[in-house]
Every structure is written in C-alpha cells, then in structure tokens.
Amino acid sequence: KSAASFYGLGFAEYQRKDLAKARLNFDKALGLDPKLAAAHYNLGFLDYEAGNLESAVKHFEAALAAKGGDYPEARYNLAVVLGDLGRWEEAGAAYQESLKISRQICASVGETPEALRDLSISLDNVGNVAQAMGRWEDAGSAYDEGLKIARRLAKFCPEIVEYSNLLLWFEDKLRDLKD
C-alpha cells in the first residue's frame, strides 16, 4: 500500500471515530512518506484532542514545513495549541502570519463577505493574544479593526445572523478591554 492509501484509511477511521485505527494508519502513511502534510495535520489534531499538546505542536509544524508554510489550517491550529500552552509569543507570531494571509486573500479575491469574516477572525485571534500578554493598545487596535469589518458585514448582509453576532462580539471585546 501507498502512503496515500494509508492516509485515506486513517481519514475514514477518523470519520468513524475509531481514533486508534486512524492514528495507526496516519503513522503508517508517514512511515512511507514522512513529509505527507495531511497525515501530520491529522495527527496534530488527534494529539490536540487527546491533550498531547507538545506532540500536536510538532505535527502542525511538520505539516507546515511539508507545505513550505502554505497550510493556513495547520498554522491556525498551531497557534491555538501554542496559546493553550501559554507560549504567547509563538502563538502571536502564528496568528500574525494568519492575519497576513487573510489580508492577502482580501487583496487577491476582493473583500467578499467570507474573506472579510475570515479577516475579522484573524484580528480577533491577534487581539486575544495581545490581551493575554497585557498589550492592551495592540489588542484594542485589532478589536477596533475587527469591529469596523463587522459593521460593514452587518450592514451589507443584515440577513446573516453570524455577521450581526460578530458585531456584538467585537463591541463586547472592546467594552471588556476598557473595563
């Protein structure tokens, strides 16, 4: 069998919630192709769910390396895990890179509602890390920019409840920051 076959089996087992078999097949896939980014990503996710955070970091980093840094989902999940570990500087750097990518997407595809929503989520993550590190002004700037985007989304797509909730989310973030 090929690395892709073992990966496919692992993914199927993951969907069936047989996490032990999923892990075994992802490991077999990596045994045949140590740079199979998707296998590293899924092992990182399994490790995160199991509370093996340091191992999750290694797998998300390996997934990023295998894709030359071009794996936004792995970068986001790496940042989440680093934040959970209290490694705020590293989490902040990963979220800053995600923010950069979100801005590039907006520039390349235009300011679609989906691209703007993703940008606002990146801004929220950057703000959360800044707040956790006591960088109140940086947090406020990120939340303020997120609020401006949320206002635009709520105005132009009033029928989408998620966008109205996003507006309230950023208003609450800024209010909490001032308290």
**Mean pLDDT across 96-124:** 93
What is the chain's mean pLDDT, rounded? 95
Q: Is residue 179 very low, low, confident or very high in pLDDT (cuts 50, 70, 90)? A: confident
**Mean pLDDT across 73-81:** 94
**Mean pLDDT across 116-129:** 95
**Mean pLDDT across 31-41:** 97
**Mean pLDDT across 83-100:** 94
Q: How far apart are CA 141 and CA 170, in angstroms?
A: 11
Say what the pLDDT of residue 178 is: 87
- Tokens in use for 17? 């919630």
Are the CB atoms for 41 and 30 separated by under 8 Å?
A: no
Say what the pLDDT of residue 72 is: 86
Q: Is residue 36 very low, low, confident or very high in pLDDT (cuts 50, 70, 90)? A: very high
Say what the pLDDT of residue 81 is: 97
**Mean pLDDT across 19-38:** 97
Residue 20 CB: number of other CB atoms within 10 A?
9
Say what the pLDDT of residue 153 is: 95
Chain centroid to CA 177: how far?
A: 23
Q: How far apart are CA 11 and CA 19, in angstroms?
A: 9
Say what the pLDDT of residue 43 is: 98
**Mean pLDDT across 158-162:** 93
pTM of the model: 0.84
